[in-house]
Structure 1
């Protein structure tokens, strides 16, 4: 890598920079002034590869021609300036003074920044892809958990329904025993089964309420049914203990209790 320093006249600067740019030579323009004519000139810094030095020098040579110009010399520093009469002289101007030397390694920071920018974009895209994948996995996990929860609830509901049906069958059989034998022990067992059924039915209703939308009237209705069941159990106890009451009346009360239990369940 070579660094060319070219000192040219201001009049040739723009033409030379345009010519260098056409051949993809990068230039840096510095303002300077000559020591003899005290006129402004331009110093161009041109960086290029070793094999392109001759090409750059030829472009400078073609665009910086020499020419003659009449100038007035500057008054001397010593002596009286009043007695000095300047005489215009014809001098040669133009051309270019060039020197070049080996430069340090050249780094094009614009390209480096572009590469860094592309790397950052690539990293950003990779991170975004990972985040999207994590969100997708999280969504799938939530859906799987939701489906599993629904499956567990459905299974639990089926088991509870089966338990309620089993209790209803056992209640029907025990009710027949109460009506037939009218033993206090059978009555106590029947009442215990009724309370168990009520508890299971209420728990079943609470689970349904958690997974569905129920109106407040539904809760009030169940409370009313439970109160009616309690009243019917008291009436059943009195009827069983009253020897004047026949088995048909006992069966009627047991049937009414069964109907209330079915309403509570459904």
Structure 2
């Protein structure tokens, strides 16, 4: 605060008719624009990641190799981490188990379970390409639910 001839800087500005901009008074237009630009950037990034995950899933179905499976798992982990870090809502499914207790499963847990199933299938000697494709499609659907 500056004092000029007995007046504070706030008093001088008020006398001149200047009203200072307050971020809390609803004038946070810049923050809104910045937030929406960030959301658009995150959405574009996630869309690109989804496209590359789909491509890797197709490659996995064709080759059924451990290298492709590892890359697919890494890509899924990166996508899920990005979703959680960016604050996207996790889709919850609530249901009652056989003992009458309510159980909550998030999409991340379901994707993890499907990945384990996919890994076991690829590692088995009787790996069926149709079953692998079905699991990859289930995972894709879960990712789209999480993303949407």
Q: TM-score, normalised by structure 1?
A: 0.43
Write the deviation string for residues 152-207 of structure 1: whole angstroms up to 9, x where unpaired.
1111111110011001110111001111001101100000000111111122335x
**8 A Cα contact 2:90 2:146, kept in partner:** no
Q: Which one of the candidate residues 22, 25, 30 is aligned to 1:148? A: 30
Q: 2:59–2:68: 8 Å Cα contact kept in structure 1? A: yes
Q: Tell me the equivalent position of 2:70.
A: 188
Equivalent residue in structure 2 for 1:221, among 92, 105, 129: 92
Q: Which has the higher strand share?
A: 1
Equivalent of 1:203 in 60, 63, 85: 85
* Pair 1:231 & 2:113 matched: yes
**Residue of structure 2 equivalent to 1:210:** none
Correspondent of 1:138 among 21, 26, 30: 21
Select 2:129's aligned residue among 247, 255, 264.
247
Query: Residues of 1 paired with 2:132 and 2:64: CA distance?
Result: 9
Aligned partner of 2:54 among 172, 179, 183: 172
The change in CA–CA distance for 1:201 and 1:131 in structure 2 (over 3 A counts) is same
TM-score by length of 2: 0.75
Superposed CA RMSD? 2.7
* Larger-Rg structure: 1
CA contact (8 A) 2:118 2:135 kept: yes
Unaligned runs of 5+ in 2: 1-9, 94-104
Runs of 4+ with >3 A deviation:
127-130, 139-144
Aligned-partner Cα distance in 2 for 1:184–1:259: 23
Partner SS state of residue 87, structure 2:
helix
Q: Which residue of 1 aligns with 2:97?
A: none
Aligned residues: 128
> Residues 222-246 of structure 1: CA distance to partner in whole angstroms, max 9, x if unpaired?
8611111110000000111123121
Name which structure has the greater RCO, CA cutoff 8 Å, separation 6+: 2
